[in-house]
Amino acid sequence: MLSTSDITDLTALRRDLHRHPEVSGHEAQTARRILSALDALAPDDILTDLGGHGIAAIYNAPSPGPTILFRAELDALPILEMSDAAHRSAYPGTGHLCGHDGHMTILMGLARLLSRQRPKRGRVVLMFQPAEETGAGAQAVISDPRFDTISPDFAFSLHNMPGLPLGHVGLADGPVNCASRGLLARMTGKTAHASEPENGISPMAALCSLMPALTSLSHGTTQEADFTLVTVTHCSLGVPAVGIAPGDATLMATLRTLTDDRMDALCTTALDLLHSTATQHGLTADHSFQDIFLHSENHPEATTHIRSALDALGIAHDGSGLPMRASEDFGRFGHTAKSAMLFLGAGVDHAALHNPDYDFPDDLIPIGTRIFARIARDLLG
């Protein structure tokens, strides 16, 4: 169990991480802070630069047994934080507005407990993963040849969840986070002088037609297997000049489905719309995909271990808010291990994830640590 001084130290660490956020793929200083904090906590092995700036701290038991991985995320968001807190971001335009600073701190709390008492069997791996927000980090870590030396039997993670009561846990079997990917669509015509637009081919009408056509592909809720959601996130037309009739347009949209097997069909339909709209207006079109997330699915056995730990700790839990529309690249760990994620309530009226005034509730640090420690104890003794 964490002591009062542990919680004081961990709170200070969380706020230091919050003050020094780094976006996906650029978490070098964050990784150094984690390594520095691990120095006094005596892991038996540390792997660095996994899939980028990832870190795995490994605690071995004296007897053989399963390998249990607990994951947190290193990265922050390219969002301007709006806060008067003393620990607000020191880097304008970048902020820990999803709570990854708190998730890392919970793993550090677990590291403190493991440093004092190893499990009786097996191994615990504390995985500090890069680039979660872009969907690239988990795959990069898993593709790193050194990950084969970890080869977890179980993988667990948590995410704080504004809207749920503080400390209440959302937990369910099956899909818990949607698959998603970003579509970058481009349409090209021909520029013209603004006084002679008839001499060009403008994508204006095509762009105006395509946006509602894409969003009309949205269907249902995450309680339905055929759920789809298309959200237009950005568009641009021509160049910012009043003398040039536009000759090109760019549109970005996020495509979501409850499970991976529905994504291909949604992508096909969206691309058919793009190309048919472009052809209708005399344009050419091309596209690319980015920020590709597989859906996250809780394995029944892994979920049972979480549920048993919560019951033993007297922590209330149910399936509130699940499956979520939001994506999480923790789902990729489910392709290598029996994995499950829990959603830890941050407060009913707490600022939403990715809001400019979001801040991780420090009261969740000991709660999250207790949950992870109990899971490890139940599985490894």
Q: In angstroms, rounded to a whole number, what is the distance separating the alpha carbons of residues 337 and 34?
A: 25
Dump the DSSP string for 264-332. HHHHHHHHHHHHHHHHHTT-EEEEEEEEEEPPEEE-HHHHHHHHHHHHHHT--EE-TT-SBSS--GGGG
Query: What homologous superfamily is domain 4-177+296-380 in, according to CATH?
Result: Zn peptidases (3.40.630.10)
179-293, CATH topology level: Alpha-Beta Plaits (3.30.70)
Q: Give span(s): CATH 3.40.630.10, the chain.
A: 4-177+296-380
For residue 248, what are its two tokens?
């090109």
Q: Is the pTM of this model over 0.85?
A: yes
Specify whether the CB–CB gap between 166 and 346 falls below 8 A. Answer: yes
Sign of the C-alpha dihedral, residues 151, 29, 17, 43?
Answer: positive
Q: Give span(s): CATH 3.30.70.360, the chain.
A: 179-293
pLDDT of residue 95: 98
Question: What is residue 21's DSSP assignment?
Answer: -
pLDDT of residue 47: 98
pLDDT in tens, 129-185: 999 999 999 999 999 999 999 999 999 999 999 999 999 999 999 999 999 999 999
Q: In angstroms, rounded to a whole number, what is the distance separating the alpha carbons of residues 53 and 128?
A: 9
- Residue type for 94, please? T
Specify whether the CB–CB gap between 166 and 361 falls below 8 A. Answer: yes
pLDDT, the chain, mean: 98
pLDDT in tens, 174-218: 999 999 999 999 999 999 999 999 999 999 999 999 999 999 999
pLDDT in tens, 292-334: 999 999 999 999 999 999 999 999 999 989 999 999 999 999 9
Q: In angstroms, rounded to a whole number, what is the distance separating the alpha carbons of residues 150 and 188?
A: 48
Question: Could you tell me how far CA 50 lies from the centroid of its own chain?
Answer: 17
User: Residue 368: helix, strand or coil by DSSP?
Assistant: helix
- For helices 260-280 and 204-215, what crossing angle results, to 10°? 150
- Of the pLDDT bands very low, low, confident and very high (cuts 50, 70, 90), residue 274 is very high
pLDDT in tens, 37-77: 999 999 999 999 999 999 999 999 999 999 999 999 999 99
Ramachandran sector of residue 233 (left: φ over 0; alpha: ψ -120 to 50; beta: rest): alpha
pLDDT of residue 138: 98
pLDDT of residue 27: 98
